[in-house]
């Protein structure tokens, strides 16, 4: 009986191979799944049928329905972005073209941007924006905790409801799985429109592998906050196990906020199946920043997050400075960084010395080793201090900056719903430079031979875990 069961599992593993090959977005992902399904199907088979899907179904159709319901608003929006679209900057013509053609929205000129470093400054800015709302607040987070800072936000939101401000609150069903029904009911009963983004909405398809990893706050269509911080006391460094928390956000004021607003509607309609009444009047400010608010995810026809990173890195002539907590890039992104080093670009990567995901932390050592061998520089943030570096940013040359939610791993580049602000502005790039230099100074440089100096078992473990990187 047991042998019959085992044989059946192996047979199902082999039968699943064509599906794994057909579904996977990358050859590496297909290879990893195929090896697992053949070698240890007892483990790989259930994992594949739960996590092996790379295409998210139903979202595009929901977006089309939402667009039909706000067709008049979309006409106004498209007229606005056309009149405020920025001319392509020399050296970034390709990126401007990709954003305009693929994301259907161009870079928007004339915005103000404010760099927000760490939790205290970011939360203070967010709460100030919430308190200044007069019409509506759109709030979306992967993780929202029912703790001290979480309740400060709840109190601020409910105070605005009493003043007649409409609140639309969206959180990821898995990332915020610890939120109690009591917490959600409290908000709902006090006038907050609140929904959980559930990727398994369509019961005919298993889609629990996907996450809505976006972090967004939009107020009155005038200001938007985007970046790496969720809402929780851990981002203020109060969790002893993790310690201090290093993260980055950005506040945007201007017409580009309408892009963030439109992106929120797509996610909101997926759950609520109705569109909130919002203001699409352009908020014009005296700013200098060209901004594109880019949403990417598994409903896209191709992996636009990876394409944007590839094009940005390929455009570099002077430097590529990256801060990212989960550094396991796919092969094209890794090759782009290697090529940049070989053509003389200053490639530096800031990674955490301590990580909340031990598997990814070990798997990343392989990529670090390959890149430092060709001349890239890596820095372990804060050395032996109990600090977690969670920023997802990059700086290319003296003009292009990115602040957002996208990690340099397979999940963010190909599977998650992500958001990032691409900012073309010399003043903001100068601020990013100062931030990076301060972070590099607080870090420990990684030696060129760091990996070869480790024990045989350490290297073997890292290489073994690296085999699973297309599935992480």
Catalytic residues: 213, 215, 220, 390, 392, 397
HSE-CB of 315 using CA atoms within 13 angstroms: 22
Contact (Cβ atoms closer than 8 angstroms) between residue 322 and residue 349: yes
Closest CA to 400 of 188, 99, 133, 123: 99
Angle between helices 27-39 and 41-51 (to 10 degrees): 140
- Say if strands 193-197 and 166-172 run parallel, antiparallel, or are unpaired: parallel
d(CA 341, CA 374): 7
Contacts of 413 (CB under 8 A, 6+ apart): 303, 305, 306, 309, 329, 330, 333, 406, 407
Q: Which residues pair with 421 in a beta bridge?
A: 293, 403
Residue with tokens 């003389």: 344
CB atoms inside a 10 Å sphere around CB 240:
7
d(CA 306, CA 132): 36
**What distance lies between CA 76 and its chain's CA centroid?**
28
Instruction: Tokens for 74, please give them.
Output: 């979309």
Going along 254-298, which residue ranges are E strands?
Answer: 289-296
∠ CA 311-315-319, rounded to 5°: 120
| Neighbour-count burial of 362, counting CB atoms closer than 10 A to its CB (0-12 exposed, 13-18 middle, 19+ buried) | middle
Residue with tokens 């085999």: 467
């Amino acid at each position: 009986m047991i042998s019959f069961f085992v044989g059946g599992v192996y047979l199902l593993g082999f039968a699943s191979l064509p599906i794994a090959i057909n579904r996977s977005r990358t050859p590496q992902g297909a290879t990893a799944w195929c090896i697992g399904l053949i070698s240890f199907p007892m483990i790989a088979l259930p994992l594949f049928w739960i996590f092996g899907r790379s295409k998210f179904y139903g979202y595009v159709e929901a977006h089309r329905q939402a667009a039909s319901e706000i067709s008049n608003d979309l006409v106004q929006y498209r007229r606005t972005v056309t009149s405020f679209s920025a001319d392509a900057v020399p050296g970034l013509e390709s990126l401007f073209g990709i954003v305009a053609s693929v994301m259907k929205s161009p870079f928007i000129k004339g915005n103000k941007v404010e760099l927000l470093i760490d939790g205290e400054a970011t939360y203070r800015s967010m709460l100030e924006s919430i308190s200044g709302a007069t019409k509506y607040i759109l709030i979306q987070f992967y993780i929202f905790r029912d703790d001290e800072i979480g309740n400060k936000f709840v109190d601020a939101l409910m105070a605005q409801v009493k003043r007649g401000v409409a609140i639309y609150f969206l959180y990821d069903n898995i990332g915020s799985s610890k939120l109690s029904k009591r917490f959600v009911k409290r908000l709902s009963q006090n006038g907050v429109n609140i929904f959980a983004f559930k990727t398994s909405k369509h019961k005919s398809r298993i889609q629990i592998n996907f996450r809505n990893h976006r972090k967004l706050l939009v107020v009155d269509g005038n200001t938007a906050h985007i970046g790496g911080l969720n809402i929780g006391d851990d981002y203020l460094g109060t969790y002893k196990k993790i310690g201090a928390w290093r993260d980055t956000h950005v506040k945007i004021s201007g017409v580009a906020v309408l892009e963030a607003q439109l992106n929120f509607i797509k996610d909101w309609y997926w759950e609520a199946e109705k569109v909130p009444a919002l203001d699409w009047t352009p908020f014009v400010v005296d700013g200098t920043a060209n901004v594109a608010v880019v949403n990417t995810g598994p409903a896209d026809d191709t992996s636009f997050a990876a394409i944007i990173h590839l094009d940005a890195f390929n455009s570099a002539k002077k430097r590529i400075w990256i801060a990212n907590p989960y550094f396991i890039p796919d092969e094209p992104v890794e090759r782009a960084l290697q090529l940049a080093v070989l053509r003389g670009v200053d490639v530096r990567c800031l990674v955490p010395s301590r990580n909340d995901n031990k598997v990814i932390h070990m798997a990343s050592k392989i990529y670090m080793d390959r890149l430092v061998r060709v001349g890239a520089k890596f820095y372990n943030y804060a050395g032996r201090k109990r600090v977690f570096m969670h920023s997802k940013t990059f700086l290319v040359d003296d003009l292009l900056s990115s602040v957002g939610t996208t990690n340099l791993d397979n999940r963010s580049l190909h599977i998650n719903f992500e958001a990032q602000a691409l900012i073309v502005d010399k003043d903001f790039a100068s601020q990013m430079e100062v931030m990076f230099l301060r972070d590099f100074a607080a870090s420990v440089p990684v030696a060129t031979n760091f990996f070869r100096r480790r024990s045989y078992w350490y290297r073997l473990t890292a290489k073994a875990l690296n085999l699973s990187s297309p599935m992480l």
